Amino acid sequence: MRLVFFGSSKESSEVLNKLLNDDFKVDLVVTQDSKASGRGLRISVTPVEKVAKTKNLEVTNGNDLFQEDQIKKLIKRNPDLFVVAAYGKILPKAILKIPRLGTINIHPSMLPLFRGPSPVATAILEGVGSTGVTIMLLDEGMDTGPIIKQSDAITLRGDEKCSELSRMLFEIGGNLLIDSIRDFERGVIQTTGQDESLATLTKLIRSSDGEINWNEKAIKIYRLMRAFDEWPGIYTFWEGKRLKIIDMEITENTHWVIEPGRVVKKGKNMFIGTGSGPLKILSLQLEGRRTITGNQFLVGYHSIVGSTLPT
């Protein structure tokens, strides 16, 4: 079975490792562009590219691959199956039709729920009680292809952050993926069409989505923090500087009323008012500074107490 692997994220690099540890032949790895990041503008490669290079696998840039001459080269490789795991780009028809058996994808939701680019974050934002992972065949639509396998429903505690939940789902998805490829090898693959009447669609998350509106209810802001923990993070502004809220918890005293956005010190702890109850700030980061606890922030920046953050 000749595979081409498409992936970019930390989670997809673990899926690639699973495939290689199970002795699947990965003929080519496709990942997103290297990027210049940090103060020194160092070139940063994706986690998938790092794994591929340590395993001496051929790696290509996704943008290069979509050029006509590169597509022809890929056709000549005669791949059996394309495997996609958190690649980050939609594959065009010219790519999808190349592999003999099709293109298989890990999608971290119970399709047809939460199609699109942000299924894990959206599940947290909407406060659903459970989620799961789907192995599917890609078609030209947005996660509309037939389902191969699905996990059992995974009950959520209500405090998972997106990074944690993503790791869990792709761990499960990687195992289901291997089972599915084995089914392809044995010629016993079966698929089920999606029920379009149940479909929901998620949106592309942007940096601006992380700005906090303190007029919102505490639970909504808490979910925002959990959903955006790795990117884009959530933030507000104080004295003209961006103030990232890294971690928080909902207080038990729902009868304690604080004006939305107002910063209050109680004991040694920092609280900020919302449209419902106050939120206890556990850690935060002022622009240009390191992350510190709410208690430490009150000591170093005591003037924030009593101020009202923008809503």
Question: In CATH terms, are 2-198 and 207-304 the same topology?
Answer: no
Token pair recorded at residue 206? 């942007």
Per-residue pLDDT at 66:
75
- For the beta carbon of residue 154, count every other beta carbon within 10 angstroms: 17
Mean pLDDT of the chain: 94
CA-closest candidate to residue 161, choices 130, 129, 127, 124 = 124
Per-residue pLDDT at 146:
98
3-class secondary structure, 180: helix
End-to-end CA distance of the chain: give it in Å, rounded.
55
Instruction: Give the mean model confidence (pLDDT) for residues 111-132.
Output: 98
Total residue count of the chain as it appears in this document = 311
Instruction: Give the mean model confidence (pLDDT) for residues 283-289.
Output: 97
Give the span between the Cα atoms of 74 and 95, in whole angstroms. 9
Token pair recorded at residue 85? 């795991």
Instruction: Give the mean model confidence (pLDDT) for residues 48-53.
Output: 95
Check if CATH label 3.40.50.10170 holds for domain 2-198: no
Residue with the bigger pLDDT between 243 and 61: it is 243
The pLDDT confidence band at residue 171, using thresholds 50, 70 and 90, is very high
Token pair recorded at residue 297? 């922030």
Per-residue pLDDT at 254:
66
Q: Using one digit for the tens of pLDDT, what is the confidence trace for 174-214?
A: 999 999 999 999 999 999 999 999 999 999 999 999 999 99
C-alpha dist (Å) from residue 84 to 75, 103, 169: 17, 7, 15
Per-residue pLDDT at 41:
43
Per-residue pLDDT at 43:
59
Instruction: Give the mean model confidence (pLDDT) for residues 216-244.
Output: 97
Per-residue pLDDT at 46:
93
Q: Break the chain into its structural domains and give their ranges.
A: 2-198, 207-304
Instruction: Give the mean model confidence (pLDDT) for residues 41-69.
Output: 84
Residue 39 has pLDDT above 60, yes or no: no
Radius of gyration of the chain (CA): 22
CATH fold group of domain 207-304: Methionyl-tRNA Fmet Formyltransferase; Chain A, domain 2 (3.10.25)
Model confidence, pTM = 0.93
Instruction: Give the mean model confidence (pLDDT) for residues 254-282.
Output: 93
Per-residue pLDDT at 68:
83
Residue with the bigger pLDDT between 61 and 112: it is 112
Give the span between the Cα atoms of 292 and 42, in whole angstroms. 26
Residue 76 amino acid letter: K
